[in-house]
Structure 1
Amino acid sequence: MTSSYSPESARLEAILLVGGQGTRLRPLTLSTPKPLLPTAGVPFLAHQLARARSFGVRRIVFATSYRASMFAEAFGDGSAYGLSLEYMTEETPLGTGGAIRNAAQALTCPSDAPVLVLNGDILSGHDIGEQVGLHVSRGAAVTLHLTEVDDPSRFGCVPTGEDGRVTAFLEKTPNPVTNRVNAGCYVFTRSVIDEIPAGQVVSVERETFPGLIEAGEPVFGYADRSYWLDVGTPAAFVQGSCDLVLGRLASPALPGPCGEFLAMPGAEVSPNAKIEGGTVVGPRAMVRSDAAVHGSVLDADCVVESGAIVVDSVVGAGARVDAGAVVRNAVIGEGAVVGPGNELLAGARLWPGVRLPAGAVRFSSDV
């Protein structure tokens, strides 16, 4: 597809939806919003900001709610990313549509301009410039990024006609008619956002998109098969971080070369430890001799002792996995301790500050 539209020349503006509480990622999100969790060595949103900047976006409005002040503390005015950042906070949650409408008060673009809307829990390798170009060339009200998944019943199912026009928006239907789903990145014409009722709870998935389609407004899908991942669960969060480190998805924000692991400043890794699978070893974290870590996220100041095994897991800031302990597909909360001989399996979550004494005990649930 070709288009004369240039995001760079048009100074494309964007809205970034970051208001959710990230309940599926607890205990990691008890004190930190999901979009700020360390991912491949930097806050998750750093990857989104860097990609948006690479496609010509220069101004982004954050739609915040949960722990809103932490976003400004993390990113400031955006100058470090070559961006201008604004922050709009919902005093009460307004849903996706309400959040977009609330944030739009800080936009500076005219009513006929395209506005990019990003979700703060999606990793995507799709071509934002092509999506915006399609939107402009078709004179669309909204253009949705669509991706193909194995189980579309978990997402908003979006059938389209041969011309790419969206014919329906079926939110999490048990009998999907297509495996193309809503990938969570939209291009709105500014005037369409302004028509969303202000100050009200509105869902774009259940109200705005179906309403536009029913009214005959031009809603199009931009479908592709590039890398895409919703990082809303612990397993997906770990996978996303590892994929970035391994180079399966390129990110201008990655703070080091791609490889089997990424060690952050101050990290101490024994030459006798085995670390692989895209693992991140956070600032001042330590991995002792004969420890084995695969495909995991080790946060700042945590310790993996000699002979411990950590696989496909998150070890929170200041936490410790003692000698001989095994952690697989688990989340170890901030400051928690897995004592010697314990084995955490199959989605186990150890809450912040909890200390498991030595004991060769298997856990597969919350502790």
Structure 2
Amino acid sequence: MRKSCLPESAHYEAILLVGGQGTRLRPLTLFTPKPLLPTAGVPFLAHQLAKARSFGVRRIVFATSYRASMFADAFGDGSSLGLDIVYMTEETPLGTGGAIRNAAEALTCGPDAPVLVLNGDILSGHDIADQIRVHVERGASATLHLTEVDDPSRFGCVPTSPDGRVTAFLEKTPNPVTNRINAGCYVFQRSVIDSIPAGQVVSVERETFPGLIEAGELVLGYSDASYWLDVGTPAAFVRGSADLVLGKLESHALPGPVGEFLLLDGATVSPEAKVGGGTVVGAGVSVEAGASVQGSVLGDGAVVEPGATVVDSIVGTGARIATGAVLRDVVVGDGAVIGPGNELAAGARVWPGVTLRECSVRFSSDV
């Protein structure tokens, strides 16, 4: 992680977009917003909040919608984190731009101040303060964090000129002109946010950014090659949690030392079990003799019986994986039971409370 180029006394306000329903992560998000899912032992947002604070953010406005009250229940006024957190809720979904404009009503900074905007489903190792510094020094209207990916067609493709100016914003185009994409962290001038129509559905990706570019405003790309991950799918969510536990991405919110696994309060792992790959062993979990768990998330109170195998999977709160069961790239909902000998793989999802009896399923996609 690069050292910040801004003075330590520089403090900023931010907007955190957390209004989505997280449908790609169901059944995990049936009752819990995606940004609050346990990730490396704490709610996902705890990692983002700790990172933002370390780079000078002191006041954050949560732009909420789905199950909005749960965010205040989790973080309160932010004082325990050294932050001032306030909440703005959309009565109806307003899109990314509309959500930013709605949340801006709670900002206290003036029109010439930079405002950081974060997406609530991104893990990133980039230097937020340096992105703000570049934005301020260049006098930009907006500055986008950019990263390179293998398949840019799944994201907003962002070509830039040699001096870093964004020349177009091509949202999820089938024929991307570059593999450099929108990484979901923006710096806006407050006056630019205020120019977004209030109370209307607006997309920053399809309307605000292209509109600024067309109007000749300076929109910059801040490119780097640091760690970056969109955790919107179960596979990515498991990977992100494991990477935090393994120390591939630093987080001051991690509730324990980095290592092959993270053991939370009251969890027990038999000396004859094999656990590693960044696995989170939740509070009160039992991993019994002969079990093997690699790169997975075991929710509080889950049980992995002798001889069971769990790889790259999520096991919900209170779920039970019976003797001889095999899970690879699977999501098991809260309270579900995977009976002896079942084999599930390739993105299978077991919904909360479901019981699979002995040897009833092999390689199912959804049960």
Equivalent residue runs for 1:139-288 within 5 Å: 139-288=139-288
Structure 1 residues 331 and 116: CA distance shift in structure 2, 3 A: same
Query: Residue type of the partner of 2:111?
Result: S
Q: Distance in 2 between matches of 1:270 and 1:106?
A: 50
Structure 1 residues 66 and 2: CA distance shift in structure 2, 3 A: closer
SS at match of 2:71: helix
Q: Distance in 2 between matches of 1:239 and 1:133?
A: 31
Q: Distance in 2 between matches of 1:90 and 1:19?
A: 8
Asked if the contact 1:3–1:137 (Cα under 8 Å) also holds between the matched residues in 2, the reply is no
Q: Distance in 2 between matches of 1:65 and 1:287?
A: 37
**Aligned pairs, how many?**
366
Q: What are the superposed Cα offsets for residues 289-312 of structure 1, whole Å, 9 maximum, x if unpaired? A: 110000000010111011100000
Query: Residue type of the partner of 1:282?
Result: G
Q: Distance in 2 between matches of 1:27 and 1:4?
A: 42
Q: Distance in 1 between matches of 2:4 and 2:14?
A: 20
Equivalent residue runs for 1:1-367 within 5 Å: 5-6=6-7, 8-359=8-359, 361-367=361-367
Query: Residue type of the partner of 1:224?
Result: D
TM-score computed with the length of structure 2 as normaliser: 0.98
SS at match of 2:115: strand
Asked if the contact 1:2–1:133 (Cα under 8 Å) also holds between the matched residues in 2, the reply is no
Asked if the contact 2:157–2:169 (Cα under 8 Å) also holds between the matched residues in 1, the reply is yes
Q: CA deviation at 1:359?
A: 1.6
Q: CA deviation at 1:5?
A: 4.4
Q: What are the superposed Cα offsets for residues 231-273 of structure 1, whole Å, 9 maximum, x if unpaired? A: 0000000000000000000000000001000000111111111
Provide structure 1 residue ranges, at least 5 long, that are not aligned to the other structure: none
Q: Distance in 2 between matches of 1:361 and 1:69?
A: 38
Q: CA deviation at 1:11?
A: 1.9
Q: CA deviation at 1:4?
A: 6.9
Structure 1 residues 129 and 58: CA distance shift in structure 2, 3 A: same
Asked if the contact 1:3–1:134 (Cα under 8 Å) also holds between the matched residues in 2, the reply is no
Q: CA deviation at 1:9?
A: 2.9
SS at match of 2:206: helix
SS at match of 2:9: helix
Asked if the contact 2:152–2:178 (Cα under 8 Å) also holds between the matched residues in 1, the reply is yes
Q: What are the superposed Cα offsets for residues 129-167 of structure 1, whole Å, 9 maximum, x if unpaired? A: 110000000000000000000111111000000100000
Asked if the contact 1:117–1:186 (Cα under 8 Å) also holds between the matched residues in 2, the reply is yes
Q: CA deviation at 1:313?
A: 0.1
Q: Distance in 2 between matches of 1:138 and 1:215?
A: 17
Asked if the contact 2:13–2:60 (Cα under 8 Å) also holds between the matched residues in 1, the reply is yes
Q: Distance in 2 between matches of 1:195 and 1:293?
A: 51
SS at match of 1:9: coil
Q: Structure 1 stretches (4+) deviating beyond 3 angstroms?
A: 1-6
Asked if the contact 1:64–1:87 (Cα under 8 Å) also holds between the matched residues in 2, the reply is yes
Q: CA deviation at 1:364?
A: 2.6
SS at match of 1:187: strand
Query: Residue type of the partner of 2:107?
Result: L
Q: CA deviation at 1:10?
A: 3.6
Q: Distance in 2 between matches of 1:204 and 1:101?
A: 10
Q: CA deviation at 1:360?
A: 5.5
TM-score computed with the length of structure 1 as normaliser: 0.98
Asked if the contact 2:4–2:129 (Cα under 8 Å) also holds between the matched residues in 1, the reply is no
